[in-house]
Amino acid sequence: MFNFHTYTVDEAPCLLNVDTADMLSSYPEQVRLSVGLHPWKVTADWSASVAKIREASKRMDVWAIGECGLDKVHGENLSLQLEAFRAQIAIAEEIQKPMVIHCVRAFDELLMLRRELEATCRKEDGEPQPWVIHGFRGKPEQAKQMMVKGLLLSFGHQYNLETLRFVFTSSRPFYLETDDLHLSARQIYEQVAQHLGVDVSHLSRLCDPRKTLFSRYE
Ligand SMILES: [Zn+2]
């Protein structure tokens, strides 16, 4: 039961979201890290934080860049958010690691950035790194729109059930997460398994990013 996005460690394997400031030298065996500058924390001097993230991202136990992204509801100054996000996209491409993305009411901008990145990668005959939108709550239409562009989704405690069912039947990978809630990974997996009418062990295999996103580490 891999917890794709969390701020706390339980017994499940997970991608723990950390700030560069509180990165310990080692974590429990089941813990891998994602490191990024959250859009709520973007200030005018974002570049200092992003420089630290670039250094930290080289660590072997850092598997993803994030969460980072765009937020038009709680974040301030969208143009600064865009700058900081672009800089982190560049890091993910440089070190070849996927991104965990926070996106609130900025999906057009997100897709615009994805198109930019794809164009750049095409020129160099490369493939862009996978982007996973965490805590996705959108409707099936929006999920479809994201998936057509190659973006992946991760679901937390709250989601649109129709969307979850759609993604489940799409045969595209998806992931499950506790985010910042005080729940165990098991609780999320049990809830989703019940909603989908499958058993937890099946879901566990299906939503394990070590088999899809992070297979090179296994
Ligand atoms: Zn978030």
How much distance in Å is there from the Cα of 205 to the middle of ligand 1? Answer: 24
How much distance in Å is there from the Cα of 62 to the middle of ligand 1? Answer: 18
* pLDDT at 5 (0 to 100): 98
How much distance in Å is there from the Cα of 89 to the middle of ligand 1? Answer: 16
* pLDDT at 26 (0 to 100): 84
Q: Which residue has the tokens 């493939």?
A: 127
Domain tally, the chain: 1
* pLDDT at 21 (0 to 100): 81
How much distance in Å is there from the Cα of 101 to the middle of ligand 1? Answer: 7
Alpha-carbon gap, residue 115 to 68, rounded angstroms: 18
How much distance in Å is there from the Cα of 158 to the middle of ligand 1? Answer: 13
How much distance in Å is there from the Cα of 103 to the middle of ligand 1? Answer: 7
Give the tens place of pLDDT for each residue, 75-104: 889 999 999 999 999 999 999 999 999 999
pTM exceeds 0.85: yes
Residue 120 belongs to domain spanning: 3-217
Give the other-Cβ count within 10 Å of 155's Cβ.
Answer: 28
How much distance in Å is there from the Cα of 199 to the middle of ligand 1? Answer: 27
Give the tens place of pLDDT for each residue, 160-180: 999 999 999 998 999 999 999
Domain with 8 in it: what CATH number?
A: 3.20.20.140
Q: Which residues of the chain have pLDDT under 50?
A: none
Alpha-carbon gap, residue 21 to 113, rounded angstroms: 28
How much distance in Å is there from the Cα of 67 to the middle of ligand 1? Answer: 6
**35 - beta bridge partners?**
18, 65
* pLDDT at 75 (0 to 100): 85
> Strands across the sheet with 14-18, in order?
3-6, 14-18, 31-35, 62-71, 99-104, 131-133, 152-155, 174-176
